[in-house]
Amino acid sequence: HDGHMTMLLLTAKLIHENRAKLHTNVVLLFQPAEEGKGGARNMVAEGALENPHVDRIYGLHVWPTVPSGKFGVRWGPMMAQTCEFDILVHGKSAHGASPQMGVDAIVSAAELITLLQTAITRNVDPHQDTLLTIGKIQGGVAHNVIADEVTLSGTLRVFSSAVYDQLRQRITAMINGLSTATGAKFDFKELMHYPCVDNPRPLVEEFYTYLDDMSDVMLVEPVMAAEDFAYYQKNIPGLFVFLGIQGGKNEHSLHNCHFDFDEENLLLGVELYARLLGLVEKPN
């Protein structure tokens, strides 16, 4: 994120130095609360795309699997629609020596984790990229006590709203059925929901005209990561592009504690912003 902020700050400096060349209003959005609460949704609700009115929007994201010196893009779905959720499992506490006196929330949670995977493998068309992960389990108080509460935290990622709706219905059915089978109660809580980043083909084709050479861009496959830029695309035409940083000092994935990149790559992103704004001439 510091790289993204740096590119926008340098772009702001260019705008200030060349404001006489500008013939349009420019709004710079600095990714408020992108990690966690989907800040773009609140930005839209609070009028970030109005006063002045924004006709289109562009976003850049440093990307470790795209080679340095290149951009990565595709039209259509590029980043996943995602839902982060908690499932609260409510059982009944009892002594570990008398499990029949309780309802084991840990066993019920374990059954649900296994069952949820079949929602992907047996209920969704295999040609539809879909992912469900339980990333955290929390519950229990002692070695010899039947747990009365467990929290499962996970994420659901798809590229189709129809598939998402199908899975939500299937998960609800599984929870209801398992509740009947085990006696436990399950509460599904959706914590955060990002739409799919979906690039319009006309904007992708126009993007190519800002490049010196077609070899400067590579067609990327859709990725299961999510980005709140999608909220802007739900309101106005928008293009999201990956800025390559592969090679050099970076050998780690995004969100790895050792992630790093060569800052020289950021200048290519600033140059692209400058071309989009007309501060640098497009190639012939």
Q: What is the pLDDT of residue 252?
A: 56
Residue 199, pLDDT > 90, answer yes
Q: Indicate the average pLDDT of the chain.
A: 90
Task: Judge whether 283 lies within some domain.
Answer: no
Q: What is the pLDDT of residue 247?
A: 74
Spatial contact of 46 and 29, defined as CB atoms under 8 Å apart: no
72 in the same domain as 200: yes
98 in the same domain as 168: yes
Domain boundary among 165, 193, 221: 193
Q: Which two tokens stand for residue 131?
A: 């992912």
CATH of the domain at 70: 3.40.630.10
Structural domain harbouring 96: 81-193
72 in the same domain as 10: yes
Average pLDDT over residues 73-87: 96
Residue 256, pLDDT > 60, answer no
Q: What is the pLDDT of residue 280?
A: 74
Q: What is the pLDDT of residue 1?
A: 65
pLDDT tens per residue, range 88-147: 999 999 999 999 999 999 999 999 999 999 999 999 999 999 999 999 999 999 999 999
181 in the same domain as 256: no
Residue 52 is classified by DSSP as: T
Task: Please tell me the least confidently modeled range out of 38-52, 120-134, 227-241.
Answer: 38-52
Contact residues for 9 (Cβ-Cβ < 8 A; gap 6+) = none
Task: Judge whether 106 lies within some domain.
Answer: yes
Q: pTM score, two decimals? A: 0.85
Give, in order, the Cα–Cα distances in Å from 104 to each of 87, 114, 148, 150, 174. 15, 16, 6, 9, 18
Domain boundary among 145, 174, 193: 193
Task: Judge whether 284 lies within some domain.
Answer: no
Task: Judge whether 132 lies within some domain.
Answer: yes
100 in the same domain as 154: yes
Domain boundary among 193, 221, 253: 193
65 in the same domain as 10: yes
Task: Judge whether 282 lies within some domain.
Answer: no
Q: What is the pLDDT of residue 2?
A: 72
- Angle (CA) 224-78-114 rounded to 5° is 20
Count of domains for the chain: 2
Task: Judge whether 70 lies within some domain.
Answer: yes
11 in the same domain as 74: yes
